[in-house]
Amino acid sequence: MPSLFSRPQKPTQAAKRAGMSLCYHIAEISSRCRTGNWSNRLPMLLGVRRLIAVLVCLTMIPATAVASGADSSGREDDIRFNADWRWAGGSHGGYYPIRISLQNSGTPRTVDVVLRAKSNDLPTVSRRVAIDQNASATFALLVPLVGEGSFTELKVYADGKELESLSTPVSLPDSGWGESSFATLVISDSPVLLPEFEAAVVSLTGVGSYTGFRNDRCDLQHVESVRLPDSWLAYSCVDLVITSFDTLEGLDSLQHKALLDWTLAGGCLAVYSAEDRSARVQQSIDALTKRTPSNPEVSWSPIALRFRNPVARVEVDEYGNEQSSQPGTVENFKWPSTEETLLVRKHGLGRVIALPPQALDGTYQDWAWLLNGIQFRQQVAPTRLGVSGRTANRDFLAFLVPGVRSVPVVAFVIVMSLFAILIGPVNYYVLAKRKRQSYLVVTIPAIALLSSLAMFAYSFVAHGVSVRSRARSVTWIDQQNQSAVSLSRLAWFAGFAPSDGLRFSTSTAFIPIWHEDGGFNGGRVDWTDAQELTTGFLRSRTRTQALTIDVRDERGRLTVTPTSSGGELPVSLKVTSGLEWPLEKLVVWDASGNAFTTDNLAPGEAATLTPLTDDAMASLREQINRSAPAVPAELSGTSGEFFEINRSWNQGDGYSVARGQLEREISVISAGIKPQNTSMARHYVAIAAEPPGIEFGTEVRIIDGWHLIVGQY
């Protein structure tokens, strides 16, 4: 028997179908009511027994989404409207795309598309577009999944007037409840079913024990290329994209850039060909990604045959209970057993995979080979990044803005006690001694007002009116492709939150980091001109954190010229900085992996680097470890405060940013700083004195800023 304190069970597919049927009947009843035929048609519509069944369903069906994806279309007031929200992922956060298509056959007008949440656990998202007569507009309304909600309604307004017939309920993915489902998107212009792929995911995750939750381990969705969005943020909730080379080549420039930018930010793109794969296909993929491999790090390498081990095929029901398990054999494989069958290559922080021809016909064993080879469990977005926008994070307190202390509980208790004594017994005693008890109606409000003003003045002086911020970021610059990816952990504390909220570009992903006792509670997002988080995301006197990922074009570069004294090996390097930011420290590796260093290089300045010594290496590693996340001393143990409220910072559920990609990459970079390292050939590492293109969303005063740059020249 389930515990009264256990979490509610997630709904089954049968419950969802029942919910859909129930909603249909309720909608039909409402329609009959509006037409005035309620009394005559109700018995024919439902009957007494069906009405009782509906009432029973209302009490038994849990609150859930009736569908994970669908579409809607309609026409009103010369506006033809179509919305499609079939997509993969979203249970762990990210930006969920609702693709909108508008056609205007009337006079020019301004159209607002608004997604309103049914409660405060999702933001209200909107976008305004101006459409001329006989013109159309197509865009993706990106919904930041930053809370646990899923019920929303899509509304359309033309010149401020609501087009009621175009309103439609939209059910977004439910919160993941700690499950790590693998979200896969298949891009194809023809219908695709991959039951063998789904069987591989279920078999590898080792499900079979009932936990009270549904075990949706594989989230697979097929989308036509014409319906793809033009922003990489739309793929932020997807873990793997599978498509053919012909489909990838046929995408328009914006769709193509969005998909490749998502790969640069850490996504995994798998490409197959309808023909026999050859070196030409790999070269074509290199051309599409604007990559000319010049060192082993970016060249194609095989997924080892050691990952090609037979796995048992597990069949489960909709509750996650294991129904059957059949041992796997080598006969279950269909893809060739060669090192050249599966090839992988880095692309930014992500990977591109070359699949064998006709890969969609592979068996569950073939797909298991691929999934094991890419370590798919680590590819799941919240596991890879260490943060989910919909759940708490375990190390929130390890990244606080310096100078912003905890609530002085003891001082607050003392002040409130003195206030109660002053406004009560002392006030009454003084007035009674002078026989002026009637003055209590004046002195009590006066003392309360003065006390409130004093506390407000203290808060004003202590917190100020500016926004203080702490930042820790790593920026990867690819000079060959003129692109950059920045991964940043940001913290804000505002004495008074700016009235216009936070503002980011449409190429920056904003993923909130919630404290275990916090969460989303209402807000708005406007995509008309930029990504404007107008309310709800930055509140006054509230610690706020987020992980941001920015993919952008970057033309800045370092020009590196070897200098020598006549020998074969360079004795130094000459570097000219074309970057916009001053560099505190710089280490450059030549083509042979020899390291050279210098300090304090300003934009436009040239310097001659000297070989990296052991002392300089130790000094640089010390600077890299500077400003590392750590829980403040007053919160790490017994704080001595009247109430102990910080003991759970390292306990309980939730992801950990400290185990995410940002800190992992910093550790790898620090370990790679050596006087001789061939894997870092033609690379450089620098500590920037200013934020290298990092967006803070508003004007901030940086209290603690630490920025690492990794480049390839």
Per-residue model confidence as pLDDT tens digits over 22-36: 443 444 444 444 334
Size (the chain), residues: 713
Tokens of 480: 């060959």
| pLDDT recorded at residue 283 | 72
Among residues of the chain, what percentage have pLDDT more than 70? 79
| pLDDT recorded at residue 55 | 40
Residue whose structure tokens are 């700690």:
178
257/45: higher pLDDT: 257
Tens digits of residue pLDDT in 564-590: 655 555 578 999 999 999 999 999 999
Local confidence band at 126 (pLDDT 50, 70, 90 cut-offs): very high
The closest alpha carbon to 16, from 80, 61, 72, belongs to 61
| pLDDT recorded at residue 46 | 39
Lowest mean pLDDT among 55-69, 106-120, 236-250, 659-673: 55-69
SS3 33: helix
- Arithmetic mean of pLDDT, 224-248: 94
Residues 6+ apart with CB under 8 A from 611: 571, 572, 594, 595, 596, 597, 675
Mean pLDDT of the chain: 82
Local confidence band at 185 (pLDDT 50, 70, 90 cut-offs): very high
CA distance 556 to 582: 12
Sign of the Cα torsion 50, 53, 58, 63 reads: negative
Local confidence band at 325 (pLDDT 50, 70, 90 cut-offs): confident
State the amino acid at position 463 in one-letter form: H
Local confidence band at 687 (pLDDT 50, 70, 90 cut-offs): very high
CA distance 103 to 86: 21
| pLDDT recorded at residue 459 | 66
| pLDDT recorded at residue 414 | 81
Q: Please name every residue paired with 403 in a beta bridge, in sequence order, or none if there are none.
A: none
Lowest mean pLDDT among 16-20, 292-296, 338-342: 16-20
Sign of the Cα torsion 322, 323, 328, 331 reads: negative
Tens digits of residue pLDDT in 49-106: 444 444 434 334 333 333 334 789 999 999 999 999 999 999 889 999 999 999 999 9
26/469: higher pLDDT: 469
63/514: higher pLDDT: 514
Local confidence band at 163 (pLDDT 50, 70, 90 cut-offs): very high
Annotated domain spans of the chain: 13-60, 68-176, 180-385, 409-463, 558-631+653-712
Q: Please tell me if the domain spanning 68-176 has the same topology as the one spanning 180-385.
A: no
- Arithmetic mean of pLDDT, 418-439: 87
| pLDDT recorded at residue 323 | 67
pLDDT value at 13 more than 80 = no
Local confidence band at 357 (pLDDT 50, 70, 90 cut-offs): confident
Sign of the Cα torsion 142, 147, 152, 155 reads: negative
| CATH of the structural domain 180-385, one choice from 1.10.3470, 1.10.287, 1.10.286, 3.40.50 | 3.40.50
pTM comes to 0.81
Element (H, E) at 467: strand 467-478
pLDDT value at 379 more than 60 = yes
566/18: higher pLDDT: 566
| pLDDT recorded at residue 154 | 96
**Which class would CATH give 68-176?**
mainly beta
| pLDDT recorded at residue 31 | 40
The closest alpha carbon to 353, from 447, 272, 416, 277, belongs to 272
Residue 177 has what DSSP assignment? T
293/371: higher pLDDT: 371
4/601: higher pLDDT: 601
Would you say 308 and 338 are in contact if contact means Cβ atoms under 8 Å apart?
Answer: no
